[in-house]
Every structure is written in C-alpha cells, then in structure tokens.
Amino acid sequence: MKKLLGIIVLSLLLSGNAYAGSVDFAVNISKPGTISSLLGPDLTIEILDPGSISSLLGDSETWEVVGACSNTPNLTVEILDPGSISSLLGNAKKINITNSSIFSADKTICITNAKDLDAETLKLLKLID
C-alpha cells in the first residue's frame, strides 16, 4: 500500500500539470506574428479598464492571474488593442483582471509564456506594476 501511495505522489510531482489543480486555465498569450497567432487563438479578449462602463455594468468576466506557470497551455488567448476594429465591433470577450482576494474571480489562470511577453502586456495582466 505504501508503495502505491509513493508511486502516486511521485507521479504527481513529476507531471507537468501539478499546478493545474488550482487554476482553471493555463494560458498561452498569442502575440501578432507568432505561430500561435497564425494558427488562430482559442479566444480573443479585450482587457477592460476597471473604471469602464462595461466593467461597471457587469458585461464582462473577471479573471485572476495567479502568475507564471510551466504547465502545458490548454488555452491560447489573443489580447486585442482597445482601439482595434475587432474591439470596436465587439468580437472579443471582455475581461476584467483582478489581483484582489476580496472579489471572487470567474476564472483563475496562470500564464505559460510570461517570460516572452513585453512589459505592457505584463502590466495588463497585473503581473508587474
């Protein structure tokens, strides 16, 4: 019995998804010109300013970004520029990013390619100040 328990614990520690239990999605952020952007993202989002009308009216979903992770991504996301035509047409899912433990988030995510992102994107995701 102890051997079986040891094997299970060891396999959990060695698997690439050991952290996935505490997040809803391990997200790969797709940047324009990359292979993942050419293949098409799973989801296109617009990150809202916390004071925006959509944010206040509840037309959006709230995500908590818990940080970077080494999990295998299970969702590829493209972040739209708020002034883009796609954003103006309303094709993107509207997302509020929170890092507050007071308000519950609809989804908890980690970023699989955080080291490849520029400072502006990291700020949008509230990974840096």
- Give the model confidence (pLDDT) of 59-91 as tens digits: 788 999 999 999 999 999 999 876 655 555 667
- pLDDT, one tens digit per residue, over 34-45 is 666 667 888 889
As a whole-number percent, the residues of the chain with pLDDT over 70 amount to: 63
How far apart are the C-alpha atoms of 106 and 120, rounded to whole Å? 24
- Angstrom distance (rounded) from CA 27 to CA 98: 16
Characterise 108 by phi-psi region: left (phi > 0), alpha (psi -120 to 50), beta (else): beta
Distances in whole angstroms, Cα of residue 40 to Cα of each of 26, 31, 34, 76, 124: 17, 11, 10, 8, 21
pLDDT at 44: 87
Q: pLDDT higher for 108 or 104? A: 108
Task: Specify whether the CB–CB gap between 110 and 67 falls below 8 A.
Answer: yes
Residues for the chain: how many in total? 129
Per the CB < 8 A criterion, the answer to whether 30 and 78 are in contact is yes
